[in-house]
Amino acid sequence: FYGMNIFLAETSATSGGLDSLLEPHGPIKRAQEKAARAFGAKQTFFATNGTSTCNKIVVQAIVRPGDIVLIDRDCHKSHHYGMVLAGAQVVYLDSYPLNDFSMYGAVPIREIKHRLLELKAAGKLDRVRMLLLTNCTFDGIVYNVERVMEECLAIKHDLVFLWDEAWFAFARFGPAYRRRTAMHCAAQLRERYRSDEYRAAYAKYQAKMADADDETLLKTRLMPDPDKVRVRAYATQSTHKTLTSLRQGSMIHVHDQDFKDEVEQAFHEAYMTHTSTSPNYQIIASLDIGRRQVELEGFELIQRQVEQAMSLRKVINTHPQISKYFHVLTVAEMIPAEYRKSGIKSYWDPEHGWSDIMSAWTEDEFVLDATRITLSVSGSGWDGDTFKNAILMDRHGIQINKTSRNTVLFMTNIGTTRSSVAYLIEVLVNIARDLDERLDYASNVERKIFDRRVKALREDLPPLPDFSCFHDSFRLSSGEGTPEGDIRSAYFLAYDESKCDYVPIEGNAIEKAIAAGRQLVSTTFVIPYPPGFPILVPGQVISQEIITFMRALDVKEIHGYRPELGLRIFTESALAALEASPSSIQELPA
């Protein structure tokens, strides 16, 4: 398929004639400068091993051992491993749950402010270094980035923001989408805080809020002090996911007022740590090609991408056969009403037609990216994983990579054509016809079995578990009322097999242990696919809610879990030794 040319194209910077990714001074340097211009950044850096590595580079450059980082728990696993590498004290933030579809939404601003104010009250705000959020989420939930940054900066004036935009690189080139990207919002805030109008507004705000209590602060739109605030934003993007680039082509965008004074040297050290000395030049060239493409025609490509998604939503939800078994989740089903000031419930419905989504993108705390089409498949009797593999892939050659227990995710992109949308609709029609045929000839018993499967997928769904807590052995400030935990110490303690044991989730061994007052503590990340987020991290106490959720899972792939042995936990003696000598937490091997 590729032929000899793929091998003939291999080369190296050490051979001469090409720029170096590690110390760019020629074409790569100019390509990165053009990318910064295109994406609205002050600096842009290319990566040839994906956004997973970009995330670790930024975290290592910014976070020092002992720094407190606020992070959404259901983010990509690279962030969790980044916390381990950096030695961060982690505060996990819970997103709002969508229990009916076994997925999470995003972290409400109230939850973020609550944690920051909690840390401030405990005298730990000076140790808070970073807020790390995913925008947009895999399922298409988009934050009000400007509001999040502004309100957090009102509490912690130099907070660093890392926005994981792995699935949002295209957003810069759509007018509505752009206003919710990290680089655009950072530039807007910098300009706003320099204005006389903002200073006048802040003076009035300060007079009103001088003696406000925490509850008032939680309910009020906060404003940062223009004389103290520092705008510090980073965005990591998978160009290869939503724009044009070879696999693993990614970018780091920077808009940090203090980058040159405080971060640049550490950033380059982190970049050297995680970047290969033998980068693939085809990937680097493809990043420059992708940048050029969207600078020249990005607006048209994104507009077409959104139009294809909107037409697909409409057809699926109105087609008489498809809609018997499937439906596209609406805005109202994905985002609770309290986060939708605009009141928009759906981008399109049969009674009112198309909605004016601009008001939502301007006002709402969260909006739904129209190009993410989450299809409920529960009416078909198939779970999401079966529908993805046995039906779409094996029978029809359609590839998708995100499912939940009763949904699958379709995405349009800049390469989506009308014919590909038409083919997907044709496939869904044929699947619906096959279901009609099968049910027409089904016996009463077979029909009952089908109905029970549908009911189970629609109603018998375990509630998604919240983060429990870190065990006191991995909390340097246990008893002080703040939740941060030392994930690194727990991670490396588990290297000693003698300090670990296993407990089966079947039977009642866990319930007996909990009833006896024992705290079972995970040694590792436990990540079921789907949904793909860690339900346990090293050092976390295993709760009954987590066990109930695990028992209800019907997935084949759970990273960090061995079915023949059970959950890997720390022994009681290992935890007792740590509690007897808390300083030993800091003496674990790095």
Tokens of 243: 């724009």
Closest CA to 510 of 542, 534, 482, 539: 542
Q: Determine the 3-state secondary structure of 341 from DSSP.
A: coil
Q: What is the distance between the alpha carbons of residues 294 and 300, in angstroms, rounded to a whole number?
A: 9
Q: What is the distance between the alpha carbons of residues 574 and 571, in angstroms, rounded to a whole number?
A: 5
**Residue that the structure tokens 């970049």 belong to:** 271
Say which CATH topology domain 5-290 has.
Aspartate Aminotransferase; domain 2 (3.40.640)
How is the chain split among helix, strand and coil, in percent rounded to 5? 50, 15, 35
* pLDDT, position 587: 42
Tokens of 142: 């988009």
* pLDDT, position 583: 58
**Residue that the structure tokens 């025609």 belong to:** 297
For residue 313, which amino acid is it? R
Residue 574, CA distances (Å) to 290, 493, 581, 587 in order: 52, 9, 11, 15
What are φ and ψ of residue 463, in 5° steps?
-65, 140
Region of 346 on the Ramachandran plot (φ > 0 left; ψ -120 to 50 alpha; else beta) = beta
- Residue 1: Cβ-neighbour burial (10 angstroms; 0-12, 13-18, 19+): exposed
Q: What is the distance between the alpha carbons of residues 49 and 374, in angstroms, rounded to a whole number?
A: 28
- Residue 292: Cβ-neighbour burial (10 angstroms; 0-12, 13-18, 19+): middle
CATH number among 3.40.50, 3.90.25, 3.30.390, 3.90.100, domain 472-587: 3.90.100
Which contiguous run of DSSP H or E holds residue 68?
A: strand 68-72
In contact, 91 and 113? CB cutoff 8 Å:
no
Continuous H helices in 441-538:
444-459, 487-493, 509-515
**Quick one: DSSP state of residue 520?**
P
In contact, 312 and 326? CB cutoff 8 Å:
no
Q: What is the distance between the alpha carbons of residues 367 and 361, in angstroms, rounded to a whole number?
A: 6
Closest CA to 144 of 372, 302, 361: 361
Q: What is the distance between the alpha carbons of residues 205 and 535, in angstroms, rounded to a whole number?
A: 41
* pLDDT, position 478: 57
Pairing of strands 327-328, 372-376: antiparallel
In contact, 585 and 476? CB cutoff 8 Å:
yes
Tokens of 470: 């870190």
Pairing of strands 232-237, 160-164: parallel
The H helix count followed by the E strand count for the chain is: 24, 21
CATH number among 1.10.10, 3.30.700, 3.90.1150, 3.40.50, domain 299-459: 3.90.1150
Query: pLDDT tens track of the chain, all 590 residues?
Result: 778 888 888 877 776 778 999 999 999 999 999 999 999 999 999 999 999 999 999 999 999 999 999 999 999 999 999 999 999 999 999 999 999 998 999 999 999 999 999 999 999 999 999 999 999 999 999 999 999 999 999 999 999 999 999 999 999 999 999 999 999 999 999 999 999 999 999 999 999 998 899 999 999 999 999 999 999 999 999 999 999 999 999 999 999 999 999 999 999 999 999 999 999 999 999 999 999 999 999 999 999 999 999 999 999 999 999 999 999 999 999 999 999 999 999 887 766 666 678 889 999 999 999 999 999 999 999 999 999 999 999 999 999 989 998 999 999 999 999 999 999 999 999 999 999 999 999 999 999 999 999 999 999 888 899 999 999 999 976 557 799 999 999 999 999 999 999 999 988 999 999 999 999 999 999 998 766 789 999 999 999 999 998 888 777 788 999 989 999 999 999 999 998 876 555 444 44
Residue 250: strand pairing partners: 47
Q: Determine the 3-state secondary structure of 326 from DSSP.
A: coil
Which contiguous run of DSSP H or E holds residue 251?
A: strand 250-256
Q: What is the distance between the alpha carbons of residues 383 and 369, in angstroms, rounded to a whole number?
A: 24
Closest CA to 543 of 456, 462, 480: 462
* pLDDT, position 579: 85
Q: What is the distance between the alpha carbons of residues 426 and 464, in angstroms, rounded to a whole number?
A: 34
Q: What is the distance between the alpha carbons of residues 408 and 328, in angstroms, rounded to a whole number?
A: 10
Closest CA to 503 of 488, 492, 514: 514
Taking the domains of the chain in order of start, what are their residue ranges? 5-290, 299-459, 472-587
Rg, Å, the chain Cα set: 25
Q: Determine the 3-state secondary structure of 248 from DSSP.
A: coil
In contact, 275 and 53? CB cutoff 8 Å:
yes
Tokens of 225: 């002090």
In contact, 116 and 152? CB cutoff 8 Å:
yes
* pLDDT, position 291: 98
Tokens of 375: 């299809």
